[in-house]
Amino acid sequence: MELIKTDIAIVGAGGAGLRTAIAVAESNPDLKVALISKVYPMRSHTCAAEGGAAGVIKPDDSLELHFNDTVGGGDWLTDQDVVEYFVNEAPKELLQLEHWGCPWSREPNGSVGVRPFGGMKIKRTWFAADKSGFHILHTLFQTSLKCPTIERFDEFFSIDLLMADGRCQGVVAMEMKSGRLFQFQAKAVVLCSGGAGRMFPFSTNGAIKTGDGTAMAYRAGVPTKDMEFVQYHPTGLLATGILLTEGCRGEGGVLRNKDGYRYLQDYGMGPETPLGEPVLKTMELGPRDRLSQAFWHEQQKGNTIPTPWGDSTHLDMTHLGEKHIDERLPLVRELSIIYAGVDPVKEPVPIRPVVHYMMGGIHTNIDAETPVSGLFAVGECACASLNGANRLGSNSLTELLVFGKRAAKNAVEFARKQNSEANESELKEQADKAQAKVRELVQKSGGTESIAGLRSEMAKSLEEGAGIYRTEETLQQTCNTIADLRKRYAGIELHDKSNVFNTDLFQALELGNMLELAQTVAEGALARKESRGSHQRLDYEARDDEQYLKHTLASYQGEEAPRIDYHDVVITKSQPGVRDYSGGAK
Amino acid sequence: MSEVQLELEILRYDPEKDQEPHFKTYQVACREEWMILDAVNHVKDEVDTTLSYRWSCHMAVCGSCGMMIDGQPKLACKAAVKDYADKKVRIEPLANFPIERDLVVVQDDFMEKLKRVKPYIIRKEEKPIEEGEYKQSPADLKRFKQFTLCINCLCCYAACPEYALTPEFVGPAALALAHRYNADSRDQGLAERHKEISKPEGVWDCSFTDTCSIACPKHVDPASALQQLKITTTVQWYKELIGMGDK
Amino acid sequence: MAYVRPVSKTCWYLKDRNYTIHMLNELTSVFVGLYALLLLWGIGAVASGPEAYQYFLKCLASPGMLVLLWVTTIVIFYHAIAWFKVTPKAMPIQKGEEFVPGGVIAGAHYVVWILFSLVVLFLAGVF
């Protein structure tokens, strides 16, 4: 096994990983950075984010408003010290991107433009047409090319973390083109490996989003936090689940049921706003959890449109006009035409809620630190509790910038303090163990289970039990199914025995990771007997601050289900209140 | 839902087993709304799990699934099966790149070339963040916006006959990104990029076949960028000749 | 080892219709070159005196030369049209925020071409 010694190892080269790497390289050019990713940086799923990134820049906006929107949007499960830090840093980070060349859309006077987004009191979403994530990712990737101390390991699949002397000292990863394993020894490790939306059958997430980093940390003893909070984006394109940005509604698009009726007014988000005049925090500009839940109710009432790809409602943008759509939502138009055969300029687009984002993830704090020293996490793989029970659209792109920079600072400080030698023998032993695990997976024969089969059973079970609305019964069923699938996982057999780009093997590893995380989602949801944000229980319809104004921590217990504990929420200045998205909201 | 019957001929190559690539045929009953990628995924999941290829976003933005479909470089996630209905379809790895395994090609060459053209903002003096954004009018933005849309899928390299004949050629995507930064009102790095672009293997290897632009799934029009770059490069050459080389 | 597919150095342009069209475009340059040589010959003849010029004119009127001239004329038309078509790519013009439509830029080339032709014909005493 090849050994690579570095100062900071970063797993994942999407927005969070690149921002972290650049921050280390710019401020500490004497430190070596190993940027390890299972895909080339520009393939990372940050590229699929569309709508934009939130940050206070305009004179009519304030940090306090952004704070309030985020805390309320998260149904008070946010850590308020984290939110406060975030809203403060957000504008600086977005400006930094502007200085690095991000092609933000502009106002006529040359300043950056902002657009309205769901759950926000004021327009504050910076955008680059409807390809904001794409431009952020490419700006960061291209900027990273000028940093000589960043050494990229593209297409290296991380298997497990290396832990010794009570701290994280590196990671084992496989070079995908050769099948060779590499031991990366580092003074600090930052996980930036993205979410795990592929656990679900219908998701906006790309194939790579299988929660590998989160599962590695989980196995290494770091609890996951708030995994039961899974965001359904209200406007996924029918059939494929491709994301149609919230920007569609920010620009004035409206949701209609089978009768053409704007149904959101029946779910506490009215009164109906005039067509083409969207009102912030009202109707279509309510938060994602509420909109997706409204769809579910319409479905129960029979107000949705049955199609071969499931029930749907309509996202109507026909009143926006071709010029406006082409300028602000060109990708949405292109995607609708290619993947649904519908031109939004002329017809309403069929949509339904789709799994989009994991609010939960690796337990981290305001410093992006995990409870294991030397291990940091940023972005969707992490849960710094910025997003609480429901993330507001356009906070996640900013989050990976703000906390990428913060993680870099703290990881550097930590690395500088590490004078002790790496525990070579212990690390080697663990690396050998990871190698043995992979070898066994490849060489084992006689199994009867298929990867695709188990994967679709997992996805179906999660959707049925841990979807938009949940009950004790469905959750229990899902918990049982996932536990059973984890046992059956031992029975898979790989048909591909090659060392070269063995995607059969990578899919098997990804499935293993997803099964472990699926269990934290289902078990966390079963234990949380209340409804909050994206976690809605039909058997416990109210929010219960007395018992559950707490973060769920799930700790790995080997083959058993995780242990569930709770952790206090940080409240500084906003006491839990009512989330009001009716037109009268102040 | 009606079905589309496809006969996929997929080029297979495992360097540990094969001397050279060979085609393997798969019959796939596709749903009519599928893309070629869905058909390939179906093969991977249900028929032959040993097939290797790259893919992720399934929305034509991550750039992973570029491959030759019926001889043309395309994103598999953007090529509708309807367009190949009831036909034999050849699926091969992107042309002009070495084959790593099956439909996976070696991309190191592009990654190295991209870095060479310095695709990032270069300034003589950085403006402090506290002073806010660089002002850029919508017209200034529009001047280069199109060339920011490149997803690095490398379809243009697979389409470029010059790259096939002269592998040293820096190539369409990388040069288009160089032009993207040259044309950005915030950038001052033209002279620095010029050193790389004006080399024989730089922009002058382009003979303007326009095939890169025809292949580009994102309508970036790299051919346009390269022709503009030729003009810029010529002007810069004269400027340097008379000692006025800086942008 | 990664497998490198062979590329034909001599017949690559037959692989793809667009390549073939491109090579045809490139081939037309040969005729443009030939015509330039012809012009040079003509200028040389004028400089060498009336006899040489008469001989030049006589050569031009020979059947072989007429065929060549007609072929060249057609090919040069093709050459000009092919390149005018792509000029908007090489020389986009931005007016305010919008780009001038490609048709206008290509059209302007045709207008200039016609004007020049008229001037030449005028100087040649056709009108």
CB of C33 less than 8 A from some CB of B: no
Number of Cβ within a 10 Å radius of residue A85: 18
Residue C2 inside a domain? The answer is no
Q: Do C81 and C22 belong together in one domain? A: yes
Q: What is the mean pLDDT of chain B?
A: 96
Give residue A143's pLDDT band: very low, low, confident or very high (50, 70, 90): very high
The alpha carbon of residue B228 is apart from the nearest alpha carbon of chain A, in Å, by 20
CB of B71 less than 8 A from some CB of A: no
The residue from B105, B125, B147 where one domain ends is: B105
Q: Quick one: pLDDT at residue A420?
A: 82
Q: Do C52 and C108 belong together in one domain? A: no
Q: Quick one: pLDDT at residue A585?
A: 46
Q: Do A379 and A468 belong together in one domain? A: yes
* Domain tally, chain B: 2
**Nearest Cα residue to A366 out of A349, A347, A382, A346:** A382
Q: Do A495 and A417 belong together in one domain? A: yes
Residues of A annotated as part of the active site: 233, 249
Give residue B247's pLDDT band: very low, low, confident or very high (50, 70, 90): low
In this predicted structure, the answer to whether residue C114 has a pLDDT above a threshold of 50 is: yes
Q: Do B94 and B120 belong together in one domain? A: no
Give residue A86's pLDDT band: very low, low, confident or very high (50, 70, 90): very high
Q: Quick one: pLDDT at residue C121?
A: 94
CATH code, B93:
3.10.20.30
Q: Do C75 and C124 belong together in one domain? A: no
CATH code, A147:
3.50.50.60
Q: What is the mean pLDDT of chain A?
A: 96
| Closest B-chain CA to C89 | B224
Average pLDDT over residues A187-201: 98
Q: Do B86 and B177 belong together in one domain? A: no
**Using CA atoms in the order A442, A444, A447, A452, what is the torsion angle rounded to 10 degrees?**
-10
Question: Chain A neighbours among B 163-202 (CB < 8 Å)?
Answer: 177, 181, 184, 186-187
Residue A567 inside a domain? The answer is no
Domain membership of residue B11 as a residue range: 3-105
Residue range C47-74, pLDDT digits in tens:
999 999 999 999 999 999 999 999 999 9
In this predicted structure, the answer to whether residue A579 has a pLDDT above a threshold of 60 is: yes
Q: Quick one: pLDDT at residue A586?
A: 41
CB of B98 less than 8 A from some CB of A: no
CATH code, B192:
1.10.1060.10
Q: Do C67 and C106 belong together in one domain? A: no
Q: Do B216 and B121 belong together in one domain? A: yes
Q: What distance lies between CA B141 and its chain's CA centroid? A: 22
Chains that touch C (3 or more CB pairs under 8 A): B
Q: How many contacts (CB atoms, under 8 Å) link B and C?
A: 72
pLDDT cut 90: percent of chain A above it = 97
CB of B215 less than 8 A from some CB of A: no
Residue A53 pairs with which residues in a beta bridge? A126
**Inter-chain contact C16–B211, Cβ cutoff 8 Å?**
yes
In this predicted structure, the answer to whether residue C126 has a pLDDT above a threshold of 80 is: yes
Which residues on B lie below 8 Å from C3 (Cβ)?
13, 15, 20-21, 98-99
Cβ contact A70:A281 at 8 Å: no
Residue range A15-26, pLDDT digits in tens:
999 999 999 999
Average pLDDT over residues A206-226: 98
pLDDT cut 70: percent of chain C above it = 100
CATH code, A246:
3.90.700.10
Q: What residue type is assigned to position A295 of the chain?
A: F
**Inter-chain contact B187–A503, Cβ cutoff 8 Å?**
no
Residue A9 inside a domain? The answer is yes
Residue B133 inside a domain? The answer is yes
Q: How many contacts (CB atoms, under 8 Å) link A and B?
A: 165
Q: Quick one: pLDDT at residue A270?
A: 87
Q: Quick one: pLDDT at residue B1?
A: 59
Domain membership of residue A537 as a residue range: 1-49+133-229+359-549
Chains that touch B (3 or more CB pairs under 8 A): A, C
In this predicted structure, the answer to whether residue B120 has a pLDDT above a threshold of 60 is: yes
CB of B138 less than 8 A from some CB of C: yes
**Inter-chain contact B139–C97, Cβ cutoff 8 Å?**
yes
* Domain tally, chain A: 2
Pairing of β B104-105 and β A560-568? unpaired
Domain membership of residue C115 as a residue range: 91-127
Output b/e per residue, A17-41; b: 16+ Cβ within 10 A.
bbbbbbbbbeebeebbbbbbbbbbb
Give residue A584's pLDDT band: very low, low, confident or very high (50, 70, 90): low
Three-state SS sequence of chain C:
CCECCCCCCCCHHHCCHHHHHHHHHHHHHHHHHHHHHHHHHHHHHHHHCHHHHHHHHHHHCCHHHHHHHHHHHHHHHHHHHHHHHHHHHHCCCEECCEECCHHHHHHHHHHHHHHHHHHHHHHCCCC
Residue B246 inside a domain? The answer is no
Give residue A413's pLDDT band: very low, low, confident or very high (50, 70, 90): very high
Residue range A442-465, pLDDT digits in tens:
999 989 999 999 999 999 999 999
* Domain tally, chain C: 2
Residue B29 inside a domain? The answer is yes
Chains that touch A (3 or more CB pairs under 8 A): B
Residue range A245-300, pLDDT digits in tens:
999 999 999 999 999 999 999 999 989 999 989 999 999 999 999 999 999 999 99
CB of B82 less than 8 A from some CB of A: no
**Nearest Cα residue to A515 out of A482, A559, A480:** A482
The residue from A326, A354, A382 where one domain ends is: A354
Question: Chain C neighbours among B 40-69 (CB < 8 Å)?
Answer: none
Q: Do B94 and B192 belong together in one domain? A: no
Q: What distance lies between CA C41 and its chain's CA centroid? A: 19
Query: For residue A460, which phi and psi values (nearest 5 degrees)?
Result: -65, -45
Residue range A291-325, pLDDT digits in tens:
999 999 999 999 999 999 999 999 999 999 999 99
Q: Do B148 and B66 belong together in one domain? A: no
In this predicted structure, the answer to whether residue A578 has a pLDDT above a threshold of 90 is: yes
Q: Encoding tokens for residue B21? A: 């690539």
Residue range B146-177, pLDDT digits in tens:
999 999 999 999 999 999 999 999 999 999 99
Residue A127 inside a domain? The answer is no
Give residue B86's pLDDT band: very low, low, confident or very high (50, 70, 90): confident
Q: Do B78 and B176 belong together in one domain? A: no
**Nearest Cα residue to A360 out of A507, A174, A562:** A562
Selected for mutation to probe chain B from A50, A94, A145 (highest B CB count within 10 Å) is: A145
